[in-house]
Amino acid sequence: MSFIEINNVCKHYDKTVVLERVNAKVEHGEFITLVGASGCGKTTFLKMLLGTEVPSRGSITLHNRPIAQEPGPDRGIVFQRYSVFPHLTALQNLILAHEFKHARLIGKLFGQKRNEAIAQAYTMLTSVGLEHADDRYPHQLSGGMQQRLAIAQAFMQQPEVLLLDEPFGALDPGIRGDMHQLVLDIWGKTAINIFMITHDLKEGFYLGTRLWVFDKIRHDPQAPHAYGATITYDIPLGHTDRSTYKTIHRALQRNKPVATRNSQ
């Protein structure tokens, strides 16, 4: 069995079908980027992995067990915004996961245990280049710094799966490059599974080991919500030819369905 198996997953709200017949197998350590037009269901898919949405039909298994229907420490998340806690300094944000784990009752560590957590947090702060901002509150950090902190915070917990919901969508293009390097570095060191939604197809091609395109195969002009999206392209990255990129790019631009093709 694969690490994550997605079997015939379908999601609809009343009569609006968002996703239909999504099937995929994911192995340990894969870095999957998810692209697709707005409203194509890629965020809904990520939420089902996160546990805040439940498939209407089908199943998602992690380690052969159905994925928990609420968020948990095995799946980390970085959102586009609001990912760090505004009332805690950068350092406090990072040691929070340890405090949740080791102080079940009061959620706060003291003395030796706190010092150990702080030592680990500094290592992580240094690896994301925030060691000098340890005592600053999130509102005192730039958007890029906040996202670096959010990524560091998610990694402190050592999740098995990391979900990134357009984490760099609000950042300047110049900062994005640094962020890509940061994510690749940490991913290389920990070899966890990453699912990352992006609007930027280039980013999708550049990062990751595998690209999923979400799109609708079937269209009914009389009932636009009758059919949902599915994974139309599932491409291993690193040896992709230029024409594939152009085909997908055109498809996303026109927001028209592209034929299903599984190149694996």
Q: How far is the CB of 108 from other proteins (least distance, A)?
A: 7
- C-beta closer to other proteins: residue 7 or 80: 80
DSSP-derived letter for residue 240 is -
Is residue 107 part of the contact set for other proteins (CB under 8 A)? yes
Q: Could you identify the residue written with the tokens 């999923």?
A: 212
Please report whether residue 113 would count as binding other proteins according to CB under 8 A. Answer: no
The rounded radius of gyration (Å) of the Cα atoms in the chain is 19
Q: Does 227 bind other proteins (CB under 8 A)?
A: no
7-26: which residues touch other proteins (CB under 8 A)?
Answer: none
CA atoms within 13 A on the CB side of 160: 14
Do the Cβ atoms of 95 and 110 come closer than 8 Å? no
Residue 33 or 92: the one with the smaller Cβ distance to other proteins is 92
- Only segment of 4-12, 110-118, 148-156, 172-180 that touches other proteins (CB under 8 A): 148-156
Amino acid at position 210, single letter: R
Rounded Cα gap, residues 242 and 263, in angstroms = 15
Contact status: 116 vs other proteins (CB under 8 A): no
Q: Are 117 and 99 in contact (CB under 8 A)?
A: yes
Nearer to other proteins, 17 or 60 (CB): 60
**CB contact at 8 A, 207 and 196:** yes
Q: Is residue 104 within the footprint of other proteins (CB under 8 A)?
A: yes
Q: Which residues bind other proteins (CB under 8 A)?
A: 50, 52, 70-73, 75-77, 79, 81-87, 96-97, 99-101, 104-108, 137-140, 150, 153-154, 156-157, 159
